[in-house]
Structure 1
Amino acid sequence: MHLDISFQMLTNNETKLINSLVKKKFRQKYNKFIVEGVKIIGELRNGPVKIHKIFSTDPSVFPDENLIELISENELKKISQLVQPNTVLALCEIPDEKPIQTEGLILVLDDVRDPGNLGTIIRMADWFGIEQILCSNETVDLYNPKVIQATMGSFLRVQINYTDLNEFFKNYKNPVLGTFMKGENIYETQIPKNAAIVLGNEANGISEELNSFMTDKISIPRFGKSQMTESLNVAMATAIILSQSASQNFKK
């Protein structure tokens, strides 16, 4: 049976809008962000995020989706932020932030700037069952396309909040564990179930103004003899710390 498949042309306004969302100021202006990839968008369709439109080069993707618009590969290249565009891109509405929770184990990111790091940290949090990440206002925006891509859909399952960390810690009553080059060995530290674990900027670590809020300083010891590796990537450090925390709870 012959299928009559008609591909649409993107309007200039659609192209300009979608490409402008690479920048935070336009994401905030239009309250929109983009998501690429069949897997992530498949999860989006079953989640709380509102989808405005889905652009796809493949008629067989989401055949029951009434928001889908078929476009050519050349049209997709005009709006994709990937070197090798996927077959599908969604234009979505940025949801309202949920209220910050103070109970449980939360991750706190102080001025983490690399989109790949934030996206990977969100995936780590999802993997290890961390339900909330609190970010400084200087931390890279969650809805940066590179962050969204790096999360592989985990941003849908981990609550992300942005706030002034100084103000937050003034009223925070649980232990605050800061990650430093010199601190208590993470493998000899008991990580509380109700606590904040703070990870700092890729180059400068935790800011001096937050130091006074740290109740404990923790460190991942170096086992190798080489001194060439000066520090761990912040996402790697997150994975090690969360794995150690999970190990402690598993043994109980």
Structure 2
Amino acid sequence: MLSKNEVKYIQSLGHKKRRDQERLFLVEGSKMVAELVQHYPSQIVRLYATETFYGHCAAAKNIQQHFVVTDDELERISQLQTPNQALALLHYFPQQEWSAAANDWTLVLDAIRDPGNMGTIIRLADWFGIKQIVCSPDCADIYNPKVVQATMGSIMRVTIIEKELTSFLSKQQLPVVGAVLCGKELASFTFPGNGILVIGNEANGIREEVIPLLSDALMIPRFGEAESLNAAIATSIFLWELKRG
């Protein structure tokens, strides 16, 4: 049975300040937690799951600190509206530096603040084989439970690095392509073998001081009356064009 203090502690990890203090974050859901158990068991600090989960994922019992909880207890510690069998506490990922790689692209996110967009973009990067994402400091926290949930496990496979963008981009010798509302049509552009793709803020796009650092400003043509595209949708279109070229 979970103590009140333990429930309070787990709930507190829903807040960024507490996560940063403890260097821990939450992952929920039977599918994501089972993947962690299989591929990244050393990341797991504690595991709370129902008997049903342990019945389907026997390897979870090898996690040193694993606990059986009831559905009611899981609901008390969950950040989800509908808890799903398992919740794990994980170490923050080790800090990594960005590295340029031949025949590879880096995705740069400029002030993506919506957690759902952030998580979906990480998942898209994983789908399209993008291994590195560089985020401005004002992007949504990658350890926010809504971000983690939206990645559907991709947060484990994509390296995410925080950088001040003007300094980072000004030092690049690679092509720097940006998604803008007014620029060359995306379909007319031939993507080189490697480079950097910049996606801007949901409301304001790429910030003013970053625009001069783009080697190519590209747009997705508009055929209707919508003012703009969702950042994650725009990212998916750009990544498809980048990869199919």
TM-score, scaled to structure 1: 0.90
Q: 1:60 aligns with which of 33, 55, 59?
A: 55
Q: 2:93 aligns with which of 88, 92, 95?
A: 95
Aligned length: 237
One-letter code aligned to 1:139: C
Q: Distance in 2 between matches of 1:49 and 1:94?
A: 12
Partner of 1:31: 23
Task: Verify the 8 A CA contact 1:105 1:192 in the aligned structure 2.
Answer: no
Q: Distance in 2 between matches of 1:101 and 1:63?
A: 38
1:73-92 pair list within 5 angstroms: 73-92=71-90
Q: Distance in 1 between matches of 2:218 and 2:22?
A: 41
Partner of 1:17: 9
1:69-218 pair list within 5 angstroms: 69-103=67-101, 104-218=104-218
CA-based RMSD: 1.3
Q: In the TM superposition, what whole-angstrom CA distance separates every residue of 1:38-96 from its partner, at most 9, and x where no partner exists? A: 11111212127511111112341433323321111111111111111111100111121
Matched, 1:51 2:44: yes
**SS at structure 2 position matched to 1:96:** coil
Partner of 1:231: 228
Task: Verify the 8 A CA contact 1:102 1:172 in the aligned structure 2.
Answer: no
One-letter code aligned to 1:69: F
Q: Distance in 2 between matches of 1:101 and 1:49?
A: 25
Q: Distance in 2 between matches of 1:102 and 1:17?
A: 40
Q: Which has the higher helix share?
A: 2
> Which ranges of structure 2 fall in alignment gaps of 5 or more residues?
none
**Bigger radius of gyration, 1 or 2?**
1
Partner of 1:5: none
One-letter code aligned to 1:84: T
**Which moves more between the two structures, 65-74 or 204-213?**
65-74
Q: Distance in 2 between matches of 1:190 and 1:139?
A: 29
Percent of aligned pairs with the same amino acid: 43
Task: Verify the 8 A CA contact 1:49 1:95 in the aligned structure 2.
Answer: no
Q: In the TM superposition, what whole-angstrom CA distance separates every residue of 1:74-121 from its partner, at most 9, and x where no partner exists? A: 111111111111111001111212221123211000000011111111
TM-score, scaled to structure 2: 0.93
One-letter code aligned to 1:173: Q
